[in-house]
Every structure is written in C-alpha cells, then in structure tokens.
Amino acid sequence: MEFNRLTIHELQKKLRDGSLTSVEITESVYRRIASVEEKVHSYITLMEESAIWQAREADRRIKEGKAGELTGIPIALKDILCTEGVRTTCGSRILENFIPPYDATVVSKLKDAGAVLVGKTNMDEFAMGSSTETSWFGITKNPWDLERIPGGSSGGSAAAVAADECIASLGTDTGGSIRQPAALCGVVGMKPTYGRVSRFGMVAFASSLDQIGPVTKDVEDCAIMMNVISGHDINESTSVPAEVPDYTKFISRDIRGWTVGIPGEYFIEGIDPEIKAAADETIKILEGLGAKCLEISLPHTEYCVAVYYIIAPSEASSNLARYDGVRYGFRTRDGENLLDMYKKTRSSGFGAEVKRRIMLGTHSLSSGYYDAYYKKASQVRALIRDDFDKAFKKCDVILTPTTPAPAFRIGEKLDDPLQMYLFDIFTLSTNLAGIPGISVPCGYTKSGLPIGVQFMANHFEEGKLLQIASAYEKNSTIERRRPNL
Amino acid sequence: MKITKKEVGYVAHLARLDFSEDEKGKLTSQLNTILVYMDILNRIDTAGIQPVTHAISLDNVLRDDTEKKSIGAEIALASAPDGNMGFFGVPRVIE
C-alpha cells in the first residue's frame, strides 16, 4: 500500500485504531524516495536509519497510549534548520561539512511531538533564490514537469510533499520561499506571522523577514503542524509571547459574512491569464460560500520588490559575515595570511547568487549610500505596512494569486537576476509587513501545471487563513491530481 | 552608472570577497541593472517617515541572568577546520 500518499490526519486515525504502524508508513516513504528521488532530487541528506528507529519508538508509544500530535508521522526538514548530529548545509559549499551541536527549536518541537524525521531537503543556497537552482548540491525538479523548477527557496520541501516523499515538511519564508514553491508544486504552504514560530537554530538569511512554516498536502495538516511549531521561545528574542490557539478548531468553520479584500495592484497586466482565471474562479466560490468580495487598494505594492531587494541583501551581508572559515564550515587551504584566507574561503565557499546579494547588501549599507538605499527602503517599508493596516480595517482577509505565472523552465531566469526577483512580486509584501500568508492549490494550467491562490491576514490571524483556506478547499471543484512520476 | 567596476572592487574588499576581472565586469553590469531599478523608490517622498526595522517590534526583551549549561570547548571546536589543542587555528596574522 502507498501509505506515503495519505495526509497527517488520515494517518493519525489509522495509527490510533491500530490498522497501520509507523514502521509501515516510514518504509513506504523510503520506498517512494528510492523510486523517484533520482528524478526529483528533493533531498540533500536522508536520515533513514534514525527514522526507522524513531518509527519503532513511535509504534511502542502508540501501543502504550502515549501518542503525541505527530507520533509516527514522517516529516522532512529544510536543510536550513539545525539538527543535532546531522549535517546542515543550507545548500552551500561553505557549510558542506557542518554538523550542528544542537537542534533548532522547531526540530525539538517536532521530536517532542513524536515525528519521524525523514531527511533534510534541498534549497537555494542560503535560501536566496526562487527556483532551487542555486544549491551547491544540485537542482530540484518540479514533480509535475521535470523540465521545470519547483520554485524556491524551499523547493525541496515542496517537491518532497508533492511527490509523496514525505507526509509534510518544514520550509522557511523570507520573501515567499514557502508559499511560492507550494503554489508551483500544488501543495499547501504557510508563512506564519513574524515572531509566531521561533527562529532559534534556523540559519539566518534576513533576520527581520525570516519565518519558519509548514508545507502540507492539505489545510488541516497545515493546522496540525502549526499547533506543534508555534509559540514563544526564551532562546529567541523576536519570538512573541502571545497565546497560541488550537489551529485545528478553525477547520470546517464557515466564512459566511466575511469580507475578502481583492487588491487591484495584484491583478495587473502581465500576469498569466490562466493564473488570473483561476483566482477569479476562487473568488466566485468564496462568494458562493457567503463571503463578500471587496476591491481594495495597497498603493505601495509596486515598490515591494525594490524595498525587499535592498533590505534582504543588507541583512544577509551582515548575517553571512560569520562564514569566515574559522569556527566551522569550509576553509581553503591556500590562504597566505588571515585576510587572504577569509577572501579565498568566502569566494569559493559561496555561489554566484549569494555573492551577488552580499555585494548588493554591502554596497547598500556602505558609507555614503546608507541613506539612499537602506534607510529609504526601511521608510517605504513603513508605508507598505501601513497599507495593510488600513486594508484590514475594511476586510477580514486579502486574496491574491501566489505567483504571476506557473513554474518556469530550468535555466530560464538564472542569468537575469532582476527577472528572477520579479517572480516573487506577490509574496514579498507579507514578509515586509510581518503578516501571515498561505498558498492553497486552486487549479491547473492547460498544460497541467499547478496554480496557487494566496490569502493574507493581519498579524497573528493565522486562524482566519486556515478557516478560509479550508472552506475553499472543501468546496472547490478542482479535481485532485497527482504528479505522474 | 550607479556603480563602477572600481567601486565593485572596493565593495568586494569590504565583504571579504575576491572576483576575477571577468567576474567583476559581469557583476558591475548586473548590479547596475538592479540599482537602476531601485530608483523607483525616489518617486516617493519619505521625509519625516520613521523607518521600520522590524514589522513586530518588541522592546527590552529581558530574561533572568541565570547560569546555564554550555556546550563546552570540545563540541564547540568539533566542526572547526583547524580546531586542535583547544583553539581555533588561523593562518599567520602578524608577519
């Protein structure tokens, strides 16, 4: 049986009524990996031995009646999350051999909840990219069309869920890196509110924007994962000490009387007609469920890409200064003196896109340019946040397409960084404003590529996102397909 | 020109990166394209607007100053490229 195709909530029932064991589920996941991984390449590192051990342990606990929320469920982790004793590369040569001495808080939480950890998924180097093409460990392919990119930077996490190489996964989202690959791979992905999930043990990219979140096969699974990973962490000073609701309670509630904001700025010319048609169809279904759709304006939308690509590289250039070949990671052997060793280590340890962003960020922060770039961008960021504050006075949630187009071909945008950056145009704003967003599958193009719709809500209103996403999912008329691998 | 090849060389030094002449040329042209695009921000008058550094601002995050277990030197040095004898080894600093 292909148990690896099932969702967390389906497997939970079977584990509890004793009709299935975690070892059987875990073995089915690794059988799937053995048969499709060569084509898709979702993973950098597999953890089969410890996973089987965790599965046996899970089965024992279930028998004893001590099952936690994820006991026995195989989950994959983006290789940006530190795992004690298991190599954590961040998709980079510079961390090729880095074995963290501790677990990220989200990894501890998954372990405490009983999860079986399948492996570490592929990603753009240091999460900088929209296509998972910049990984030192090779390209991940889109399971729906192996000639296309899976999106990025959490492309491995999204492809692994879409290809049934795990039941669910964790990704990270700095400018769309969970929602965008989820949309392109036909799965659900959520970026929680900034501060909702602890970033302790996540390799930092842009610290004011980074957030960890789930990639799942359906919305209910997303709620289950959010219950496990959310909450305040004493080790992380930006994690917010706010109460965490039971997110599964928001599943199956109706949305009658809700107001859904439709920002005109996200339905611009140049957006793929099939994407626009799918979003329009989603709006009709929501109206059929008793929601009122209201045209709203987010007037500073057109500035998001410029603001993001100043702020994120600036923070990255500072965060990545720590990779100097001294305390951990890769070092070149031929450094003549300390300065020479730093330069040679960093130049051969980082790939082209990471170096480009370090250069962009260093320039933006350098003396004489700081006011023109970083300060200016941070001021416009305030205006972008204010746009959302005003919008959420008029509506419960905002609906937009997740991406302007379906998955593009491998190599298509690699030599044109600006075109690659513009592909994130609809997902960057939530990170800048710190609000949560979710992408849910809403159809397919004629050529069979998945399309995603994005919902955004005000700070700490993940529950609303799960409620509308699940109401839509249950009532949408799109057929459920699987990639043919 | 938003940034010259010479400036690219200067920024590379600040960032502790080395580029070949060819790489510098390509990077100069790519950074120029990106920086020209950033001019879009100059359309907005931002005089008097308080910059946002964190979307959710928490002030004075404090905790009790209590002693906790640390990982210890052996584990801290385990991933170092040159971590012999209890130190992080580096190439010569002073001639």
Which 3 state secondary structure label does DSSP give B34? helix
- Amino acid at site A365: L
pLDDT number for residue B61: 84
- Whether the Cβ atoms of residue A106 and residue A235 lie closer than 8 Å to each other: no
Q: Which domains does chain A have, with CATH numbers?
A: 3-250 (3.90.1300.10), 321-376 (no CATH)
Dihedral sign for Cα atoms in the order A131, A133, A135, A139: positive
Q: Does B52 touch chain A (CB under 8 A)?
A: yes
pLDDT number for residue B40: 96
Mean pLDDT, chain A, as a whole number? 97
Q: What tokens does A86 get?
A: 């298991």
Confidence band, pLDDT 50/70/90 cuts, at residue B31: very high
Q: Do the Cβ atoms of B63 and A234 come within 8 Å?
A: yes
CA–CA separation, A276 and A453 (whole Å): 10
Q: List Cα–Cα distances, A60 to A55, A141, A206, B13, in angstroms.
A: 9, 37, 41, 57
Q: Which of residues 8-47 of B touch A (CB under 8 A)?
A: 8, 11-12, 14-19, 27, 30-31, 33-35, 37-38, 40-42, 44, 46
Domain annotation covers residue B79 = no
Q: List Cα–Cα distances, A286 to A213, A254, A255, A293, A476, in angstroms.
A: 25, 10, 8, 8, 9
In terms of DSSP bridges, do strands A116-121 and A74-78 run parallel, antiparallel, or are they unpaired?
A: parallel
Domain annotation covers residue B25 = yes
Taking only the tens place, the pLDDT of each residue in A418-472 is: 888 889 999 999 999 999 999 999 999 999 999 999 999 999 999 999 999 999 9
- Amino acid at site A437: G
Instruction: Please provide residue A168's backbone torsions phi and psi, each rounded to the nearest 5 degrees.
Output: -155, 170
Concerning whether A153 is annotated as a catalytic residue, the answer is yes
Say which CATH number the domain at B9 has: 1.10.20
State the SS3 of A356-420: HHHHHHHHHHCCCCCHHHHHHHHHHHHHHHHHHHHHCCCCCEEEEECCCCCCCECCCCCCCHHHH
What percentage of residues in chain A have a pLDDT greater than 90?
95
Q: Do the Cβ atoms of B58 and A310 come within 8 Å?
A: no
In terms of DSSP bridges, do strands A437-444 and A450-456 run parallel, antiparallel, or are they unpaired?
A: antiparallel
Q: What tokens does B13 get?
A: 């030094």
Q: Which residues contact A335 (CB under 8 A, 6 or more apart)?
A: A325, A341, A342, A344, A345, B91
Beta bridge partner(s), residue A438: A190, A455
- Whether the Cβ atoms of residue A155 and residue A76 lie closer than 8 Å to each other: no
Concerning whether A318 is annotated as a catalytic residue, the answer is no
Domain annotation covers residue B71 = no
Instruction: Please provide residue A308's backbone torsions phi and psi, each rounded to the nearest 5 degrees.
Output: -60, -45
Taking only the tens place, the pLDDT of each residue in A52-101 is: 999 999 999 999 999 999 999 999 999 999 999 999 999 999 999 999 99
Q: Which residues contact A448 (CB under 8 A, 6 or more apart)?
A: A144, A145, A481
- Whether the Cβ atoms of residue A348 and residue A336 lie closer than 8 Å to each other: no
Of A304, A336, A252, the residue nearest A424 (C-alpha): A304
CA–CA separation, B47 and B39 (whole Å): 16
How many Cα atoms sit within 13 Å of B29 on the Cβ side?
7
- Whether the Cβ atoms of residue A409 and residue A184 lie closer than 8 Å to each other: no
CA–CA separation, A90 and A328 (whole Å): 13
CA–CA separation, A261 and A247 (whole Å): 23
Structural domain that includes position B18: 5-43
Taking only the tens place, the pLDDT of each residue in B61-72 is: 888 899 988 888
pLDDT number for residue B85: 85
Taking only the tens place, the pLDDT of each residue in A441-455 is: 999 999 999 999 999
Of A63, A127, A64, the residue nearest A90 (C-alpha): A127
Work out how many domains chain B is built from and give that number. Answer: 1
| Residue among A28, A92, A135, A153 flagged as catalytic | A153
Domain annotation covers residue B34 = yes
pLDDT number for residue A281: 97
Instruction: Please provide residue B14's backbone torsions phi and psi, each rounded to the nearest 5 degrees.
Output: -60, -40
Q: Degrees (nearest 5) of the Cα angle A346, A350, A353? A: 130
Domain annotation covers residue B64 = no
Q: Which residues of chain A have pLDDT under 70?
A: none
Measured between beta carbons, which residues in chain B are less than 8 angstroms from residue A344?
A: 18
Domain annotation covers residue B13 = yes
Q: Do the Cβ atoms of A193 and B56 come within 8 Å?
A: yes
Environment class of residue A241 by beta-carbon count within 10 Å: exposed (0-12), middle (13-18) or buried (19+)? exposed
Domain annotation covers residue B85 = no
Domain annotation covers residue B66 = no
Q: Do the Cβ atoms of B44 and A330 come within 8 Å?
A: no
pLDDT number for residue B60: 83
- Whether the Cβ atoms of residue A354 and residue A125 lie closer than 8 Å to each other: yes
pLDDT number for residue A335: 86
